[in-house]
């Protein structure tokens, strides 16, 4: 059983990742795409592509695309239809090869309740749980509500007390219905100081099953992973063997084929572990396993799909060094990690840093609300865990990115924190370590950034000048005011005054001396008061993304003359992000208290509650259910 052409029923960075390995194996690739992805890199990277009518969830249309192009196999990637048993069966019925485990395994493991039952029968420990809200007290608060039909943080709620149970269940059910088409939820014991440890398994159609060690994925926000690593700083050889044996025991009971992941919850204090779920697909965090084992998991998936034997045993698996992955998201950590949208004005990694970038976007890509906000996975490997962490932080710091708010600074702060470097990466890491959510420039750094930007713009003006191009910038034969430019940064305005000196340096503001070492379209090599650095600069109309030792800062050129604008309405409550209104909790005349939920928005298949920031009375409502809102849209007006 073999194939020469593969259709990838997915998009973005995972489609690019699969294409890369398939091409190395001499396999041609077919991409499918929607209108929103017409200009995405994965479409251009594939050998051919088929446009879908509206969604990546239309299995029938995807199978037709495979038939149309002569593809003999389908790889589902992760997300979308990757754990859809019906799609798997339909692929096989169409005489195509399915790259993944059997539909029977997908069905049994896709239902979290059934999966727990099978794990218990296989002798794998599980957490206490119930499907009856009335029995929540028997488990003991805090508890965790989880979707029975899916994962990825969707349909998941931590409940601290009985009074919040009803509303939390309702919200989890809505989110589960939207994400998985199944609103069933169950209640499980919540272990606060815990770790999420998962074991990577591989199984072939000849009965061979082995594991490739563990990954730790404990650092999460909104129950979604953001930093993963292998090996885990908590797992020793004995624990790895025990968890690996449990994973293999379950995989053999399932007669598992292809790559998969068995997830466990570990009590950080006792080391006790419990089965959580089996992900019957490739995981987002699979690269860290590849880095420490040297095994290409996509390669192994494709080999197994061709009916080949693994060809090696558990004794042949070894681990070298340490690997860490960070997920770069379009989101605002300072605003409760809410998704962000926009156009990437700048996006360029530093090729001098030894880091792996699994990404599906490029400069100019539009980040909307149609898909998950992950922009890239950044992976490094080091001889030690500290080396890998430092390298990853440096790669992120040297990334030139702007136009969309991201979690880059938060990731760097997390990786450089003493808690992370000491391996204190439990599920409550964010609450305990309190990494910096964003970098706000002020003082010297803001002056360096605005000076570099101002002198880069004057250099660009000289480069584009059509008359008197060789005359120094700002040259005059009489006493005239200094040249100036004003930038807006967040809510402030910064004016830079400068003039050219006879020695080709510049006097800036009151007591700053600057010298341009080299100027180019991509940036400026500059010396400011004896401090020299290269600032990469990208301009889009009046917006400038300015990179330097401080990171990236978005500056906007303030026009010399502007028309007066309208003022925001007093007491106005605005949307913290773009999204769809799925529930309106109040009406005109409602009295609300600080912290009350007023509106529930949905973006990227996740629910987000908009709460009252103070006590008041609703005097005006400007939205209705099912409205699609832009970021900053006025929702309602509250009076004190």
Secondary structure of 503-545 in HEC code, one letter for each residue: CCCEEECCCEEEEEEEEECCEEEEEECCEEEEEEEEEECCEEE
pLDDT for the residue numbered 278: 96
pLDDT for the residue numbered 312: 97
In this model, does residue 82 exceed pLDDT 80?
yes
Q: Which residue of the set 184, 195, 281, 303 is catalytic?
A: 281
pLDDT for the residue numbered 428: 93
Say what the pTM is.
Answer: 0.85
C-alpha distances out from residue 524 to 453, 457, 516, 547, Å:
9, 10, 7, 10
Among 508, 533, 557, the domain-final residue is: 557
Domain identity same for 371 and 283: yes
Share of the chain above pLDDT 90, in %: 74
Total domain count, the chain: 5
Mean pLDDT of 195-208: 97
Q: What is the mean pLDDT of the chain?
A: 92
Q: Looking at the domain assignment, is residue 382 inside a domain? A: yes
In this model, does residue 621 exceed pLDDT 90?
yes
Domain identity same for 254 and 384: yes
State the CATH number of the domain containing residue 496. Answer: 3.30.700.30
pLDDT for the residue numbered 349: 97
Q: Looking at the domain assignment, is residue 139 inside a domain? A: yes
Which of 21, 64, 80 lies closest to 45, judged by CA? 21
Domain identity same for 136 and 285: no
Domain identity same for 160 and 141: yes
Domain identity same for 302 and 206: yes
pLDDT for the residue numbered 481: 67
pLDDT for the residue numbered 504: 87
Q: Looking at the domain assignment, is residue 438 inside a domain? A: no
Mean pLDDT of 43-64: 97
Domain identity same for 80 and 144: no
Q: How confident is the model at residue 148 (pLDDT cuts 50, 70, 90)?
A: confident
User: Angle at Cα 493 formed by Cα 490 and Cα 494, nearest 5°?
Assistant: 115
Q: How confident is the model at residue 6 (pLDDT cuts 50, 70, 90)?
A: very high
pLDDT for the residue numbered 200: 98
What is the Cα–Cα distance from 287 to 217, expressed in whole angstroms?
13
Give me the numbers of helices (H) and strands (E) for the chain, helices first please: 16, 39
In this model, does residue 567 exceed pLDDT 50?
no
Helix (H, G, I), strand (E, B) or coil at 275: strand
Q: Looking at the domain assignment, is residue 104 inside a domain? A: no
Q: Looking at the domain assignment, is residue 107 inside a domain? A: no
In this model, does residue 478 exceed pLDDT 70?
no
Structure token digits, residue 27: 């396999």
Helix (H, G, I), strand (E, B) or coil at 384: coil
What is the Cα–Cα distance from 211 to 207, expressed in whole angstroms?
14
Catalytic: 234? no
Q: Looking at the domain assignment, is residue 536 inside a domain? A: yes
Q: How confident is the model at residue 568 (pLDDT cuts 50, 70, 90)?
A: very low
Q: How confident is the model at residue 281 (pLDDT cuts 50, 70, 90)?
A: very high
Q: How confident is the model at residue 565 (pLDDT cuts 50, 70, 90)?
A: very low
* 484 Cβ contact list (under 8 Å, min separation 6): 495, 496, 497, 498
* Mode of pairing for the β-strands spanning 597-603 and 579-584: antiparallel
Domain identity same for 420 and 295: yes
pLDDT for the residue numbered 140: 85
What is the Cα–Cα distance from 276 to 271, expressed in whole angstroms?
15
Which of 475, 531, 524, 481 lies closest to 502, judged by CA? 475
pLDDT for the residue numbered 566: 40
Residue 595 sits in which domain range? 572-639
Domain identity same for 239 and 355: yes
Domain identity same for 451 and 426: no
In this model, does residue 192 exceed pLDDT 80?
no
Among 99, 114, 144, the domain-final residue is: 99
pLDDT for the residue numbered 633: 85
pLDDT for the residue numbered 563: 46
Share of the chain above pLDDT 70, in %: 95
Domain identity same for 248 and 349: yes
Mean pLDDT of 251-264: 97
State the CATH number of the domain containing residue 409. Answer: 3.30.470.20
Q: Looking at the domain assignment, is residue 210 inside a domain? A: yes
State the CATH number of the domain containing residue 81. Answer: 3.40.50.20
Q: Looking at the domain assignment, is residue 543 inside a domain? A: yes
Domain identity same for 370 and 305: yes
Among 499, 523, 557, the domain-final residue is: 557
pLDDT for the residue numbered 508: 96
Instruction: Report the length, in residues, of the chain.
Output: 640
Mean pLDDT of 599-625: 85
pLDDT for the residue numbered 176: 86
Q: How confident is the model at residue 369 (pLDDT cuts 50, 70, 90)?
A: confident
Domain identity same for 418 and 286: yes
In this model, does residue 470 exceed pLDDT 60?
no
| Alpha helices (runs of H) in 77-127, residue ranges in sequence order | 85-93, 103-110, 112-121
Q: How confident is the model at residue 559 (pLDDT cuts 50, 70, 90)?
A: confident
């Amino acid at each position: 059983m073999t194939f020469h052409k593969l259709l990838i029923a997915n998009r973005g960075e995972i489609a690019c990742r699969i294409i890369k390995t398939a091409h190395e194996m001499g396999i041609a690739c077919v991409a499918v795409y929607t209108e929103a992805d017409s200009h995405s890199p994965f479409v251009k990277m594939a050998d051919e592509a088929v446009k879908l009518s509206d969604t990546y969830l239309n299995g029938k249309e995807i199978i037709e695309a495979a038939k149309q192009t002569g593809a003999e196999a389908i790889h589902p990637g992760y997300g979308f239809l990757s754990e859809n048993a019906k799609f798997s069966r339909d692929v096989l019925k169409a005489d195509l090869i399915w790259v993944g485990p059997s539909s029977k395994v997908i069905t049994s493991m896709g239902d979290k309740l059934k999966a727990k039952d099978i794990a218990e029968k296989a002798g794998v420990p599980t957490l206490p749980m119930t499907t009856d809200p009335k029995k929540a007290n028997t488990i003991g608060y805090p508890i965790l509500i989880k979707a029975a039909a899916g994962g990825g943080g969707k349909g998941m709620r931590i409940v601290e007390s009985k009074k919040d149970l009803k509303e939390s269940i309702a919200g989890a059910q809505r989110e589960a219905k939207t994400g998985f088409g199944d609103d069933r939820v169950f209640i499980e014991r919540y272990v606060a100081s815990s770790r999420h440890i998962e074991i990577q398994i591989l199984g072939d159609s000849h009965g061979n099953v082995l594991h490739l060690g563990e990954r730790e994925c404990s650092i999460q926000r909104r129950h979604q992973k953001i930093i993963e690593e292998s090996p885990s700083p908590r797992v020793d050889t004995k624990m790895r063997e025990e968890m690996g044996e449990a994973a293999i025991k379950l995989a053999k009971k399932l007669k598992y084929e292809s790559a998969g992941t068995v997830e466990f919850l570990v009590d950080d204090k006792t080391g006790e572990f419990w089965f959580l779920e089996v992900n019957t697909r490739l995981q987002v965090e699979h690269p860290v396993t590849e880095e420490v084992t040297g095994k290409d998991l996509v390669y192994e998936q494709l080999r197994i799909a061709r009916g080949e034997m693994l060809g090696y045993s558990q004794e042949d698996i070894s681990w070298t060094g340490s690997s860490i992955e960070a997920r770069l998201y379009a989101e605002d950590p300072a605003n409760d990690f809410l998704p962000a949208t926009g156009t990437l004005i700048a996006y360029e990694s530093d090729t001098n840093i030894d880091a792996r970038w699994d990404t599906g976007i490029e400069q100019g890509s539009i980040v909307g609300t149609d898909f998950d906000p992950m922009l890239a996975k950044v992976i490094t490997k080091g001889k030690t865990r500290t080396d890998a962490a430092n390298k990853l932080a440096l790669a992120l710091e040297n990334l030139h990115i702007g136009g969309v708010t991201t979690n880059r600074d938060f990731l760097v702060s997390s990786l450089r924190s003493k808690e992370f470097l000491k391996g204190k990466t439990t599920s409550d890491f964010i609450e305990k370590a309190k990494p910096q959510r964003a970098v706000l420039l002020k003082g010297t750094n803001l002056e360096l950034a605005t000076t570099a930007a101002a002198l880069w713009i004057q250099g660009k003006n000289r480069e584009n000048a059509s008359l008197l191009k060789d005359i120094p910038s700002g040259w005059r034969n009489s006493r005239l005011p200094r040249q100036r430019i004003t930038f807006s940064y967040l809510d402030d305005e910064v004016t830079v005054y400068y003039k050219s000196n006879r020695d080709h340096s510049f006097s800036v503001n009151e007591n700053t001396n600057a010298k341009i070492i080299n100027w180019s379209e991509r940036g400026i090599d500059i010396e400011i008061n004896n401090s020299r650095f290269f600032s990469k600069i990208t301009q889009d109309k009046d917006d400038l993304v300015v990179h330097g030792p401080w990171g990236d800062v978005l500056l906007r050129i303030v026009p010399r003359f502007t028309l007066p604008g309208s003022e925001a309405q007093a007491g106005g409550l605005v949307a913290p992000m773009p999204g769809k209104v799925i529930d309106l909790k109040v009406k005109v005349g409602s009295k609300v208290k600080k912290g009350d939920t007023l509106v529930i928005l949905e973006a990227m298949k996740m629910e987000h509650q908009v709460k009252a920031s103070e006590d008041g009375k609703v005097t005006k409502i400007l939205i209705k259910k099912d409205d699609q809102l832009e970021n900053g849209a006025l929702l309602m007006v509250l009076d004190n």
